[in-house]
Chain A
């Protein structure tokens, strides 16, 4: 079985540019999560979806961040405009039934 697939794996962008991170969850999973990992703040839950509907976005840091899930097999996390402090590893994860989540390999974002 294919796991959670994220793209791009690595991205370097200039401050002010728009960044779009993509995720394909495991087929059949009904929950999708976006996490951000930094040295300073550890692993933070940004937002999660159930059946394509956002359930809790309280972890989204500010209005520059937005996430969508237009269908069961695709989600995006967008940062516009990006800032250097957004540099982090962004993980997408999915689960069936809401627990035991499976992670993708992450998108390593550097904003210069």
Chain B
């Protein structure tokens, strides 16, 4: 069965510092991969997605993620974080016969140090 692991429950970084959030997936075939962000009291917003092609994908708000098949990873990065990036970040994998069953990781809460 497909699964997603986000090993970091909570990360704190200083404003202006670089960020990398880790995500590992388990799925037999080539997965569809996503990163979503959730601000307090809000729904989830899509940051970026990987379906095929270039393994480095660009998203909104200056985020990017790299698909590494050999490591079963899809880590999210941002070169310089802003205080407004404080939120919960979820990695997800789409699986199933039509890649329609989307499973989320447990999330990583990002705090920004002034």
Residue ranges of A at the interface with B (Cβ–Cβ < 8 Å): 4, 31, 33, 35, 42-43, 45, 48, 50, 55-56, 91, 93, 95, 97-106
Knowing A91-B43, A91-B44, A105-B42 are in contact, say whether A99-B99 is a contact too (CB < 8 A). yes
Residue in A4, A56, A97 whose CB lies within 8 Å of B96: A56
**B98: A residues at CB distance < 8 A:** 50, 97-98
Q: Does B25 contact A (CB under 8 A)?
A: no
Could you tell me the distance between the alpha carbons of A45 and B96 in the complex, rounded to whole angstroms?
Answer: 13
Knowing A33-B102, A43-B104, A48-B101 are in contact, say whether A103-B43 is a contact too (CB < 8 A). yes
Could you tell me the distance between the alpha carbons of A51 and B102 in the complex, rounded to whole angstroms?
Answer: 17
Query: In the complex, which range does the number of interface residues on chain B fall in?
Result: 20 to 34
Residue in B32, B49, B100 whose CB lies within 8 Å of A31: B100
| A24 to B: closest C-beta gap in Å | 14
Q: How many A-B residue pairs have CB under 8 A?
A: 55
- 0/1 string, B88-112, CB within 8 A of A gives 1: 0010001010111111111100000
Could you list 21 examples of A-B contacts with CB < 8 Å?
Answer: A4-B43, A33-B102, A42-B104, A42-B106, A42-B107, A45-B101, A45-B102, A48-B101, A50-B100, A56-B101, A91-B44, A93-B44, A97-B98, A98-B94, A98-B99, A99-B32, A99-B99, A99-B100, A100-B34, A102-B46, A105-B42
Residue in A45, A99, A100, A105 whose CB lies within 8 Å of B43: A105
Residue ranges of B at the interface with A (Cβ–Cβ < 8 Å): 32, 34, 36, 42-46, 49, 51, 90, 94, 96, 98-107
